[in-house]
């Protein structure tokens, strides 16, 4: 059978992506989960942190799938984040312990590297101070887990709020682009039609 040409335009590309209202809803949910993490240190117990953290991971995975369309990497990344969120919610004690250990060890490692590099390259006591502060922070996090959980919750909350806000912003851009395309109406020959691309599709494949 003879392959048939199929026009592929910017409008058809927009139709392949998720609708702007779905992106807005997902972005708002992601931002709300980040706000909940920001509020958590003042009102909640450590077991609730695992639930909030898991929900944030799941919503971020959903946002990745919705924003990325049906592309393979987006789907894989979204599924992995969703599974990580489910695991965090299913094992809250293990999740909070892992968060504390990760925060403490990361701070200690960063502090040790800072001290080693500063002592070798700079050789000044003043340059070593930030590394010592990081190292001390890691030790404190391991000794007093509640402090580490509060710090991680605030930092993660800020990052997740920014992710949700960026998704909502992208959704509003998509809405304005769709409204602008509808206002321009159908493409006339000799006008913007020159920008469309012809894709040859073989029906036998």
User: How do residues 106-155 score in pLDDT, each as one tens digit?
Assistant: 889 998 998 888 888 776 777 888 888 889 988 888 888 887 788 778 88
Q: For residues 52 and 204, what is the distance between their CA atoms, to the nearest angstrom?
A: 49
DSSP 125-144: HHHHHHHHHHHHHHHHHHH-
Q: For residues 163 and 27, what is the distance between their CA atoms, to the nearest angstrom?
A: 8
Locate 151 and state its tokens: 């710090």
**CA–CA distances in Å: residue 115 to residues 60, 141, 181, 182:** 35, 19, 57, 59
| For residue 20, pLDDT beyond 50 | yes
More confident residue, 195 or 139: 139
| For residue 5, pLDDT beyond 80 | no
**What pLDDT does residue 194 have?**
46
| For residue 88, pLDDT beyond 50 | yes
**What pLDDT does residue 6 have?**
42
Q: Domain limits at 81?
A: 4-185+193-201
Q: For residues 178 and 15, what is the distance between their CA atoms, to the nearest angstrom?
A: 9
Q: For residues 85 and 29, what is the distance between their CA atoms, to the nearest angstrom?
A: 15
CA 175-180-183 angle, 5° bins: 125
More confident residue, 180 or 153: 153
| For residue 82, pLDDT beyond 50 | yes
How many domains, the chain? 1
| For residue 104, pLDDT beyond 60 | yes
Reduce the DSSP state of residue 122 to 3 states and report it: coil
User: Is-contact 13 178, C-beta < 8 A?
Assistant: no
Q: For residues 65 and 62, what is the distance between their CA atoms, to the nearest angstrom?
A: 5
| For residue 11, pLDDT beyond 60 | no
| For residue 9, pLDDT beyond 60 | no
Task: Compute the average pLDDT of residues 16-42.
Answer: 78
DSSP 158-205: HHHHHHHHHHHHHHHHHHHHHHHHHHH-SPPTTTGGGG-EEEEE-TT-
| For residue 105, pLDDT beyond 50 | yes
| For residue 193, pLDDT beyond 70 | no
**What pLDDT does residue 3 have?**
43
């Amino acid at each position: 059978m003879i392959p048939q040409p199929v026009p592929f335009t910017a409008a058809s590309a927009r139709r392949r992506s998720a609708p702007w209202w779905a992106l807005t809803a997902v972005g708002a949910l992601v931002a709300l989960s980040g706000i909940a993490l920001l509020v958590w240190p003042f009102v909640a117990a450590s077991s609730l942190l695992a639930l909030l953290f898991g929900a944030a991971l799941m919503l971020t995975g959903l946002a990745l799938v919705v924003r990325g369309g049906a592309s393979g990497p987006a789907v894989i990344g979204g599924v992995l984040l969703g599974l990580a969120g489910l695991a965090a919610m299913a094992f809250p004690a293990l999740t909070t312990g892992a968060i504390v250990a990760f925060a403490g060890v990361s701070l200690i490692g960063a502090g040790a590297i800072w001290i080693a590099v500063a002592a070798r390259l700079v050789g000044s006591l003043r340059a070593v101070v930030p590394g010592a502060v990081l190292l001390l922070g890691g030790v404190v996090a391991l000794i007093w887990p509640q402090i580490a959980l509060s710090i991680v919750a605030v930092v993660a909350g800020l990052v997740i709020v920014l992710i949700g806000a960026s998704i909502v912003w992208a959704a509003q851009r998509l809405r304005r682009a769709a409204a602008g395309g509808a206002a321009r109406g159908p493409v006339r020959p000799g006008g913007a039609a020159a920008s469309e691309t012809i894709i040859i599709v073989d029906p036998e494949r």
